[in-house]
Homo-oligomer: A and B are copies of this chain.
């Protein structure tokens, strides 16, 4: 496999918000970027705005063969089906990567079918927005954010390094590495659980006049309650066990806090708040 470098050619399959933001970030660094997306307007928009150099609204053999790296920015199941149907078109040595929000089931399914002369290194860019489409893409979403490479036994050092370099070129602040199992456990907590909380907070009270009185706390906790229901329900189902476990952990802790308030146990309540304050300080962007 050729080392990833300034003259590498990257093909993005799925030119939505995230695919488009990948394309913008890489094009700005001087990387040759092409794209495939079934939505013709997305390809035209990206071409007209200099986000990609070449593109097609259908599976295009020339674009696939010309690419050193192919990034799949599709929903998990669509991604898996695409590989099954079109992998014959890959050149040997191509690096395949993705942006999928769950990993264990995806890497297992892909590895079960993937040709052995191409390499799939799974990755999860921890960045997003509550808007859709290449028209809203913005490479600044990667600033200060984490990029997680999720290797398996089938991966080579070269493949993993190339995938990490892609994360660096995209502008991520931190490149980390996790196993598929650890990734899914972590994502069940920091991402899926938080989306469940935000949705519940938004749906548990139907008093729409609240908007007249709300402060930033409520806005912050519900920003992600604007949710792509097709994508997130798919992600939840693909990581169900881990998510349910994290929901239980949270409910137990929340109930403990409720009991402290109910009992008027101010000293222990304050200890909880001090602990949360101390821990949260670690999470400030550095």
Residues on A close to B: CB < 8 A? 126-128, 145-146, 148, 174, 176, 178, 186, 189-191, 193-205, 208, 210-227, 229-230, 232-233, 236-237, 240, 243-244, 247-258, 261-262, 264, 266, 269-270, 272-277, 279-283, 285
Q: How far is the CB of A275 from chain B (nearest CB, A)?
A: 5
Q: How far is the CB of A255 from chain B (nearest CB, A)?
A: 7
Contact A204 B252 (CB under 8 A): yes
A277 and B225 contact, Cβ closer than 8 Å, known pairs A236-B269, A266-B233, A272-B203: yes
Pick the contact of A257 from B191, B196, B277 — CB < 8 Å? B196
Pick the contact of A277 from B176, B189, B226 — CB < 8 Å? B226
CB contacts (< 8 Å) of A194 on chain B: these are 201, 217-218, 220-221
Contact B197 A201 (CB under 8 A): yes
CB contacts (< 8 Å) of A262 on chain B: these are 240, 244
Pick the contact of A208 from B216, B282, B285 — CB < 8 Å? B282
Q: How far is the CB of A131 from chain B (nearest CB, A)?
A: 12
Contact A126 B213 (CB under 8 A): yes
Q: CA of A208 to CA of B220 in the docked complex: distance in angstroms?
A: 22
Pick the contact of A127 from B202, B205, B216, B256 — CB < 8 Å? B216
Q: CA of A191 to CA of B205 in the docked complex: distance in angstroms?
A: 14
Contact A197 B236 (CB under 8 A): no
Contact A226 B191 (CB under 8 A): no
A276 and B212 contact, Cβ closer than 8 Å, known pairs A194-B218, A217-B191, A254-B196: no
Contact A261 B277 (CB under 8 A): no
Contact B227 A276 (CB under 8 A): yes
Q: CA of A97 to CA of B24 in the docked complex: distance in angstroms?
A: 52
Of the A-B pairs whose beta carbons lie under 8 Å apart in the complex, a sample of 9, sorted by A's number, is: A126-B215, A148-B213, A197-B221, A202-B275, A214-B283, A219-B283, A222-B283, A237-B264, A237-B266
List 17 extra interface pairs beyond A178-B213, A237-B266, A240-B262, CB under 8 A. Answer: A127-B215, A145-B216, A191-B215, A196-B254, A203-B257, A203-B275, A203-B276, A211-B282, A211-B283, A220-B223, A222-B280, A222-B283, A223-B280, A229-B277, A236-B269, A251-B251, A251-B255
Contact A196 B283 (CB under 8 A): no
